[in-house]
Amino acid sequence: MSSPLALLLQRHSAPSRQLSEPAPDEATLHALLEAAIRVPDHGKLVPFRLILLRDKAKLHFGEQLTAMAIRRDPDLPESNREKERMRYTFAPLVIAVIARVDSNSKIPEIEQKLSAGCVAHNLLLGAYALGYGAQWLTGWAAYDRDVAALLGLAENEHVIGFVHLGTPLIDIPDRDRPVLTDLLSNWSP
């Protein structure tokens, strides 16, 4: 019998370039998203939301980001332009995880952002549990206010990350992991 912790001990990210069709069907995706939003949420603020990028919208998003990158750096090499343009097209589904920060709340901003981060992590865990691959990426687009405007975000909203989701094309080897004893200590007065 496998350990109840096997999912956590085996989960790993699949590089977005190694993700292809199929993505979860609509019913499976709905179930995954329902599970993903079951996160710690101090104050019950629901400080997150999700934006799905699919099909031609992914390429259009990449083309818009490329135009922004060129405006910032007209000498951007062609290879970088193509990388920006295609960045979101490999996985069949990209989920933008958005933090919605309520600055009038007594709940600290970091707790609200961590709650949204838990949604992204649950997407990774859920995708792995369902037999899919996923990768949580950020990059400059996650921190850029022009990109936030492109996504239709309000001033109090921030991209936590883009979760690329699909079926791995290859077996993904695990990476070296930290040694627990190097990270663990006991506090004593």
Would you list which residues are annotated within the binding site?
Answer: 11-13, 38, 42, 136-138
- Beta-strand pair 133-137/93-100: unpaired
Question: 129: how many CB neighbours lie within 10 A of its CB?
Answer: 13
Helix (H) or strand (E) holding 58: helix 55-72
| Rounded CA separation 185/161 (Å) | 31
Residue 99 three-state SS: strand
Burial of 23 (0-12, 13-18, 19+ CB in 10 A): buried
Binding residues for FMN: 11-13, 38, 42, 136-138
| Rounded CA separation 132/73 (Å) | 37
Burial of 144 (0-12, 13-18, 19+ CB in 10 A): middle
| Rounded CA separation 105/146 (Å) | 26
- The residue among 121, 123, 133, 122 whose CA lies nearest residue 17 is 133
